[in-house]
Copies of this chain bind each other. A is one copy, B any other.
Amino acid sequence: MRPFKHPEIDAVTLEHLLHALSDPVRMDIVRRLADEGEASCNALDGGRPKSSMSHHFRVLREAGLVWTRNDGTVHMNSLRRKELDKRFPGLMKAVLTAK
Protein backbone atom coordinates (compact mmCIF):
# COMPACT_ATOMS: atom_id res chain seq x y z
CA MET A 1 0.00 0.00 0.00
CA ARG A 2 1.34 3.36 -1.03
CA PRO A 3 1.56 6.13 1.53
CA PHE A 4 -1.47 8.37 1.60
CA LYS A 5 -1.78 11.86 0.25
CA HIS A 6 -2.54 14.32 3.00
CA PRO A 7 -3.60 17.88 2.22
CA GLU A 8 -1.22 20.71 3.04
CA ILE A 9 -2.44 22.26 6.25
CA ASP A 10 -2.99 25.59 4.54
CA ALA A 11 -5.29 23.93 2.04
CA VAL A 12 -7.51 22.61 4.82
CA THR A 13 -10.83 24.43 4.94
CA LEU A 14 -12.94 25.08 8.00
CA GLU A 15 -15.97 23.90 6.08
CA HIS A 16 -14.57 20.45 5.39
CA LEU A 17 -13.10 20.16 8.85
CA LEU A 18 -16.44 20.94 10.52
CA HIS A 19 -18.24 18.56 8.25
CA ALA A 20 -15.81 15.79 9.09
CA LEU A 21 -16.34 16.43 12.80
CA SER A 22 -20.12 16.51 12.56
CA ASP A 23 -20.35 12.74 12.31
CA PRO A 24 -20.46 10.85 15.60
CA VAL A 25 -18.29 7.99 14.42
CA ARG A 26 -15.61 10.36 13.22
CA MET A 27 -15.83 12.56 16.30
CA ASP A 28 -15.30 9.46 18.38
CA ILE A 29 -12.21 8.56 16.38
CA VAL A 30 -10.84 12.07 16.80
CA ARG A 31 -11.45 12.04 20.54
CA ARG A 32 -9.72 8.74 20.96
CA LEU A 33 -6.75 9.83 18.87
CA ALA A 34 -6.52 12.96 20.99
CA ASP A 35 -6.40 10.75 24.08
CA GLU A 36 -4.34 7.85 22.88
CA GLY A 37 -1.97 9.63 20.53
CA GLU A 38 -1.76 7.08 17.76
CA ALA A 39 -3.88 4.09 16.88
CA SER A 40 -4.55 1.63 14.10
CA CYS A 41 -7.84 1.67 12.20
CA ASN A 42 -8.48 -1.74 13.64
CA ALA A 43 -8.21 -0.50 17.20
CA LEU A 44 -10.86 2.17 16.65
CA ASP A 45 -13.52 0.34 14.72
CA GLY A 46 -15.95 -0.25 17.56
CA GLY A 47 -17.18 -3.39 15.86
CA ARG A 48 -18.03 -1.66 12.58
CA PRO A 49 -17.18 -3.15 9.19
CA LYS A 50 -13.75 -2.36 7.84
CA SER A 51 -15.13 -0.73 4.71
CA SER A 52 -17.20 1.70 6.77
CA MET A 53 -14.25 2.65 8.90
CA SER A 54 -12.03 3.03 5.87
CA HIS A 55 -14.53 5.54 4.53
CA HIS A 56 -14.49 7.56 7.75
CA PHE A 57 -10.70 7.57 7.98
CA ARG A 58 -10.58 8.80 4.44
CA VAL A 59 -12.92 11.69 5.24
CA LEU A 60 -10.79 12.57 8.26
CA ARG A 61 -7.60 12.43 6.24
CA GLU A 62 -8.98 14.52 3.40
CA ALA A 63 -10.32 17.07 5.86
CA GLY A 64 -6.79 17.43 7.21
CA LEU A 65 -7.62 16.13 10.68
CA VAL A 66 -5.78 12.84 10.65
CA TRP A 67 -2.39 11.70 9.50
CA THR A 68 -1.97 8.09 8.50
CA ARG A 69 1.35 6.32 8.21
CA ASN A 70 2.03 2.80 7.07
CA ASP A 71 3.67 0.41 9.46
CA GLY A 72 3.74 -2.99 7.87
CA THR A 73 0.17 -4.06 7.27
CA VAL A 74 -1.06 -1.67 9.89
CA HIS A 75 -2.12 1.93 9.31
CA MET A 76 -1.31 4.12 12.25
CA ASN A 77 -3.43 7.24 12.61
CA SER A 78 -2.80 10.38 14.59
CA LEU A 79 -4.35 13.80 14.97
CA ARG A 80 -2.53 16.58 13.14
CA ARG A 81 -2.88 18.53 16.32
CA LYS A 82 0.05 20.93 16.11
CA GLU A 83 -0.66 21.88 12.55
CA LEU A 84 -4.36 22.26 13.28
CA ASP A 85 -3.64 24.45 16.28
CA LYS A 86 -1.62 26.74 14.08
CA ARG A 87 -4.11 26.73 11.25
CA PHE A 88 -7.21 27.14 13.45
CA PRO A 89 -6.12 28.46 16.82
CA GLY A 90 -8.24 27.25 19.71
CA LEU A 91 -10.55 25.17 17.58
CA MET A 92 -9.49 21.66 18.46
CA LYS A 93 -9.20 22.54 22.11
CA ALA A 94 -12.75 23.89 22.12
CA VAL A 95 -14.07 20.89 20.23
CA LEU A 96 -12.31 18.35 22.40
CA THR A 97 -13.31 20.14 25.57
CA ALA A 98 -16.99 20.24 24.63
CA LYS A 99 -19.15 17.59 26.17
Interface residues of A (CB under 8 A from B): 14-16, 18-19, 21-24, 27, 88-91, 93-95, 97-98
Contact = CB atoms under 8 A, between A and B. Distances in A.
17 contacts: A14-B95, A14-B98, A15-B22, A15-B23, A15-B24, A18-B18, A18-B95, A22-B22, A88-B94, A88-B97, A88-B98, A89-B94, A90-B93, A91-B91, A91-B98, A93-B94, A94-B94
Consensus secondary structure, chain A interface: helix
Copies of the chain in the assembly: 2
| Top 10 A-B pairs, shortest CB-CB distance | A19-B22, A90-B94, A91-B94, A18-B22, A14-B98, A88-B98, A18-B18, A18-B21, A94-B94, A90-B90
